[in-house]
Chains A and B, each alone.
Chain A
Amino acid sequence: MIRFAIACGSLVALVLLLDMGPLGAAGASITGTVKVTGLASNADAVVFVVQAPGTFTPAKPAELDQLKMQFVPHVLPVVLGTTVRFLNSDPTHHNVFSPTNEKYNLGTWRQGQTKDYTFSKCAKPPCAYAQLCLVHPEMEGFIVVLQNPFFGVSTKEGRYQIDNVPPGTYSLGVWHAKAKSQPKPVTVEAGKSAVVDFTLAR
């Protein structure tokens, strides 16, 4: 039984590695901080590898919930082609639409129901999609479509971490709903953690 479990676990790990593309093995991490000047919080900046060799296919749908009248998470980065499952966890009806890029309106639905949308039309990642609710105009979230799965989202304190990045030299970009910064180069070596800090301004 134990051997069977180990075999299954190994199989799952192998599938995950294959999912991450040809450079998924022997990766290292990129860490750092993001400082967003002028804002009370440093959260919700997406730090990402702008372009990694290969193609990347998402394994399963990502989820964006509408909970307590908010989009949760507030910012959701996904790989190009990912299907996002929009869930309504509130006892009130919610709607999801986006006025950006190809624009879509998924309609309005009640608690417990979901709707799916596949983000496959982004011609040049990153593509940021504002998520809005027609029923509650103050609600706002973002889905950021990226070329590869090597990304992280900053915490309130500004810390971020990107794991399993294959060794190589990349351009590291950052996206934030209210602030900007230029990409920075980063070299990742196997078994070593690279550190890159960003300061964003409006």
Chain B
Amino acid sequence: MRRKSIFVCGFARIALVVLGLLATASTARAVPAFARKYQTSCQTCHIVFPKLNAFGEAFRLRGYRLPGETEEMVKQPPVSLGAPAYKQLWPQAVWPGEISSAVPLAVNIKLADMNSSSLNEDGTVSTVKNDLQFPQEVNIFGAGTLGDHVSYLSEVTFGENTDGSVSVELEHAHMGFDSPFGPEDLFHFRIGKLAPNVVDGFQEMWISTNAGIDSLFGYNPIGFNGGTGLAEDVSPAPISIPRIVRGIEGYGIIKHRALWVAGLANGIGPSATNASGRFDGNSAKDVYARFDYKIGGMGLDGDTGGQPVPEKNWRDNSLRLGIFTYRGDGSNIDFSLTTDLGVRRNIQDIHFLRTGLYANLFFQDVNVFGAYLHGTDSLQVFNPAKAVLLSAIEPDYHAWFTQADYLIYPWLQAGYRYETLTPADRSVVSLRTGVVNVSALVRANVKAMVEYQRDLREGDNHSLNALLRFAF
């Protein structure tokens, strides 16, 4: 059953959509602690950081270990927490491990000169010129390995607010158990707060733009007729497809070419009125899975089949195809909305399913990649006073993006991304966004970017930002 939505004119809706778009940005991981550990350049693993080359992707998937890693590759010898011979004594002794000899911390700093124009609900246009957000954010990473089969990654992000205060977000904190049994790289397990491998790849590690892929990750499915656009300060945060989860994940590489992923996640957090102190909004868990296959190029585990690797290490002539799915349960988690008549209602997303395909093509200096996502929700509207079910709908939406990057020089990359989102509420015009990015590596660990982002339906919604990012 579909009902007419709240009174919002088309233009204002567009404005809301784009404001949300401009407010969200991708996170980025580039961890110089690894450069120190192996005494190697960032470009061993990154094309234009944080975007990974094939070797870097293998390093990530192998639990932050180099393909074919041997002791002599590690230039900072670790500190032993137990002699290897203690393995013979287990369970009568603690299984031996290691920690890095240098504190495995790294810092990323981002400075931004922000310029934007956005259409307001009342038809006026707000502009921002040269807002020097110096810094916009600082990320502190801790990452490395603890012996042969354990790895970890943590990231704390500090963002400076306009009033001078600082917001802190724990973006990642997870531990990995790598190849604890079976053939090498067939089984990896991660536990903690992590970027699920269902999306990691085409979100955090392939994207070198400042803007995130909001059509896939920023959609709000909650609405009387289904979602109308991107999420803006919705509590609890609704799920389009999650960028970060609290959960447990298994993944592995099959015969160098195939990747399997299966995970279990907390899902949507509790509603704003729920003071239970819990992280999960209900006791049900979300599940996700992914399967990839890579044709050509370096294996996902770094295997080259005995063939020499390209001299230009960003080249990896290959095609990677994948399918992914995420099923969530939002029952008993209330989202509060007000109808056009000013009546408050609660909506629950009883269960939702996101299914997608993606592809990543590398050919010489060109990289074209993209993903398609189809989402269905099961929304139930309640009278909050009486907890009475008023209506139920099963809306669906879809979104896709494609991006092309061209490496002009090893230090200079140009990229263009087009993304579109058709919300479940079909009375809302589909979102279409274009992003043009030019990134220059001033040094291997210093990146300057100019990025233009535009709402392709409304010329008053756009931004032009200059950014400087450095990692050490």
Chain A positions within 8 Å of B, measured between CB atoms, are 37-40, 99-100, 130, 132, 137-140, 177-178, 202
Which one of B8-16, B77-85, B377-385, B424-432 is at the interface?
B77-85
Q: Which of B71, B72, B77, B83 contacts A139 (CB 8 A)?
A: B83
Is the CB of B363 closer than 8 A to any CB of chain A? no
CB within 8 Å of A: which B64-104 residues: 70-72, 77, 79-86, 88-89, 93-94, 96
In the docked arrangement, what's the CA distance between A10 and B58, Å? 66
Decide: A40 and B88 in contact? CB cutoff 8 A: no
Decide: A39 and B72 in contact? CB cutoff 8 A: yes
Decide: B72 and A40 in contact? CB cutoff 8 A: yes
In the docked arrangement, what's the CA distance between A178 and B79, Å? 17
CB within 8 Å of A: which B29-85 residues: 70-72, 77, 79-85
In the docked arrangement, what's the CA distance between A71 and B82, Å? 14
**Which 9 pairs show the lowest CB-CB distances between chains A and B?**
A38-B70, A140-B83, A130-B85, A138-B80, A137-B82, A40-B72, A99-B88, A39-B71, A99-B89
Decide: A38 and B71 in contact? CB cutoff 8 A: yes
**7 A-B pairs in the complex with CB atoms less than 8 angstroms apart:** A130-B85, A132-B85, A137-B81, A137-B83, A137-B96, A139-B83, A202-B70
Contacts A130-B88, A137-B94 given; does A40 touch B71 at CB 8 Å: yes
In the complex, which residues of chain B have a beta carbon less than 8 angstroms from the beta carbon of A38?
Answer: 70-72
In the docked arrangement, what's the CA distance between A139 and B85, Å? 10
In the complex, which residues of chain B have a beta carbon less than 8 angstroms from the beta carbon of A139?
Answer: 83
Decide: A138 and B82 in contact? CB cutoff 8 A: yes
**Closest partner residue, chain A, to B77 (CB atom):** A40
Q: Which of B72, B85, B89, B93 is the most central at the interface, judged by chain A CB atoms within 10 Å of its CB? A: B85
Decide: B85 and A100 in contact? CB cutoff 8 A: yes
**Closest partner residue, chain A, to B83 (CB atom):** A140
Extra contacts besides A37-B70, A132-B86, A137-B83 (5): CB < 8 Å: A39-B72, A40-B72, A99-B85, A130-B83, A140-B84
Decide: B86 and A137 in contact? CB cutoff 8 A: yes
In the docked arrangement, what's the CA distance between A24 and B313, Å? 59
**Closest partner residue, chain A, to B85 (CB atom):** A130
Decide: A39 and B70 in contact? CB cutoff 8 A: yes
In the complex, which residues of chain A have a beta carbon less than 8 angstroms from the beta carbon of B83?
Answer: 130, 132, 137-140
What is the distance, in angstroms, from B276's C-beta to the closest C-beta of chain A?
42
Chain B positions within 8 Å of A, measured between CB atoms, are 70-72, 77, 79-86, 88-89, 93-94, 96
**Closest partner residue, chain B, to A140 (CB atom):** B83
In the complex, which residues of chain B have a beta carbon less than 8 angstroms from the beta carbon of A99?
Answer: 85-86, 88-89
What is the distance, in angstroms, from A97's C-beta to the closest C-beta of chain B?
9
In the complex, which residues of chain A have a beta carbon less than 8 angstroms from the beta carbon of B88?
Answer: 99-100, 130
In the complex, which residues of chain A have a beta carbon less than 8 angstroms from the beta carbon of B96?
Answer: 137
Decide: B70 and A138 in contact? CB cutoff 8 A: no
Contacts A99-B89, A100-B85, A100-B88 given; does A138 touch B79 at CB 8 Å: yes
In the docked arrangement, what's the CA distance between A1 and B19, Å? 104
What is the distance, in angstroms, from B10's C-beta to the closest C-beta of chain A?
64
What is the distance, in angstroms, from A128's C-beta to the closest C-beta of chain B?
10
**Closest partner residue, chain A, to B80 (CB atom):** A138
In the docked arrangement, what's the CA distance between A85 and B194, Å? 52
What is the distance, in angstroms, from B375's C-beta to the closest C-beta of chain A?
48
Q: Which of A38, A137, A177, A202 is the most central at the interface, judged by chain B CB atoms within 10 Å of its CB? A: A137
In the docked arrangement, what's the CA distance between A180 and B80, Å? 22
What is the distance, in angstroms, from B184's C-beta to the closest C-beta of chain A?
13
Q: Which of B70, B72, B83, B86 is the most central at the interface, judged by chain A CB atoms within 10 Å of its CB? A: B83
In the docked arrangement, what's the CA distance between A99 and B91, Å? 13
What is the distance, in angstroms, from B89's C-beta to the closest C-beta of chain A?
5
**Closest partner residue, chain A, to B79 (CB atom):** A138
In the complex, which residues of chain A have a beta carbon less than 8 angstroms from the beta carbon of B72?
Answer: 38-40
What is the distance, in angstroms, from B149's C-beta to the closest C-beta of chain A?
16
Decide: A137 and B71 in contact? CB cutoff 8 A: no
In the complex, which residues of chain B have a beta carbon less than 8 angstroms from the beta carbon of A178?
Answer: 71
In the docked arrangement, what's the CA distance between A177 and B270, Å? 54
**Closest partner residue, chain B, to A139 (CB atom):** B83
In the complex, which residues of chain B have a beta carbon less than 8 angstroms from the beta carbon of A177?
Answer: 84
Q: Which of B80, B81, B94 is the most central at the interface, judged by chain A CB atoms within 10 Å of its CB? A: B80
In the complex, which residues of chain A have a beta carbon less than 8 angstroms from the beta carbon of B79?
Answer: 138
What is the distance, in angstroms, from B101's C-beta to the closest C-beta of chain A?
12
What is the distance, in angstroms, from A19's C-beta to the closest C-beta of chain B?
32
What is the distance, in angstroms, from B169's C-beta to the closest C-beta of chain A?
36
Decide: B71 and A140 in contact? CB cutoff 8 A: no
Contacts A130-B85, A130-B88 given; does A137 touch B93 at CB 8 Å: yes
In the complex, which residues of chain A have a beta carbon less than 8 angstroms from the beta carbon of B81?
Answer: 137-138
In the docked arrangement, what's the CA distance between A159 and B70, Å? 22
In the docked arrangement, what's the CA distance between A177 and B85, Å? 10
What is the distance, in angstroms, from A72's C-beta to the closest C-beta of chain B?
15
In the complex, which residues of chain B have a beta carbon less than 8 angstroms from the beta carbon of A40?
Answer: 71-72, 77
In the docked arrangement, what's the CA distance between A132 and B79, Å? 16
What is the distance, in angstroms, from B97's C-beta to the closest C-beta of chain A?
10
In the docked arrangement, what's the CA distance between A67 and B83, Å? 16
In the complex, which residues of chain A have a beta carbon less than 8 angstroms from the beta carbon of B93?
Answer: 137
What is the distance, in angstroms, from A12's C-beta to the closest C-beta of chain B?
38
**Closest partner residue, chain B, to A133 (CB atom):** B83
In the complex, which residues of chain A have a beta carbon less than 8 angstroms from the beta carbon of B71?
Answer: 38-40, 178
**Closest partner residue, chain A, to B81 (CB atom):** A138
In the docked arrangement, what's the CA distance between A39 and B71, Å? 5
In the complex, which residues of chain B have a beta carbon less than 8 angstroms from the beta carbon of A130?
Answer: 83, 85, 88
In the docked arrangement, what's the CA distance between A176 and B126, Å? 71
In the docked arrangement, what's the CA distance between A138 and B96, Å? 8
**Closest partner residue, chain B, to A141 (CB atom):** B83
In the complex, which residues of chain B have a beta carbon less than 8 angstroms from the beta carbon of A137?
Answer: 81-83, 86, 93-94, 96
What is the distance, in angstroms, from B76's C-beta to the closest C-beta of chain A?
11
What is the distance, in angstroms, from A136's C-beta to the closest C-beta of chain B?
9
In the docked arrangement, what's the CA distance between A99 and B86, Å? 8
In the complex, which residues of chain A have a beta carbon less than 8 angstroms from the beta carbon of B70?
Answer: 37-39, 202
What is the distance, in angstroms, from B389's C-beta to the closest C-beta of chain A?
61
